[in-house]
Chains A and B, each alone.
Chain A
Amino acid sequence: DTGVSQDPRHKITKRGQNVTFRCDPISEHNRLYWYRQTLGQGPEFLTYFQNEAQLEKSRLLSDRFSAERPKGSFSTLEIQRTEQGDSAMYLCASSFSRGSTDTQYFGPGTRLTVL
């Protein structure tokens, strides 16, 4: 039984560089979510996909952020021209839609440090 996986687990980059994170959801799950969590806070929603369609984006997702889920399976989150304020844990979650709100299962996260 494989849960949600994320790669890499840790990323250190210099300000201005681009970074890309990958998320592999639980195989039968059709919904995939990205959240961001800063130190001492709960996760905050960034965006979600149902199959390959990106259906909602938070205001937190600036123009420098882009997410894709090209075949409705894995997803990537790219941050261009990183800033120090982007340092956070980026969490991916997946669910199988059964109704209005589904139970979401989270991956281990990717911790980004921007120097």
Chain B
Amino acid sequence: DQQVKQNSPSLSVQEGRISILNCDYTNSMFDYFLWYKKYPAEGPTFLISISSIKDKNEDGRFTVFLNKSAKHLSLHIVPSQPGDSAVYFCAATGGTSYGKLTFGQGTILTVHP
């Protein structure tokens, strides 16, 4: 039972353009969502999070949007840079599962110069 899904295994974007990474969840108890970036041979690096009381959170080039009715969140990166090329994971927690992150499968983002 995949409670957090990232349906796009990969995404290719030109430098300077917008990257949009999507994530869907099924567990209605989830109310805190996080995005992580992971380079090969490194641990995941925290990027940005959003609580279910908000529908948008912004930090520099990164914005996360949350649509609770659709159980969908997205990460926008504007403008995309070649250094953003990595695997991006969304994760969720909430209800009786606080502290336990449930991860999506990840999306490989490639930003071309």
Verify that A and B bind, or say they do not: no
Q: Residues of A at under 8 Å CB distance from B?
A: none
Q: Residues of B at under 8 Å CB distance from A?
A: none
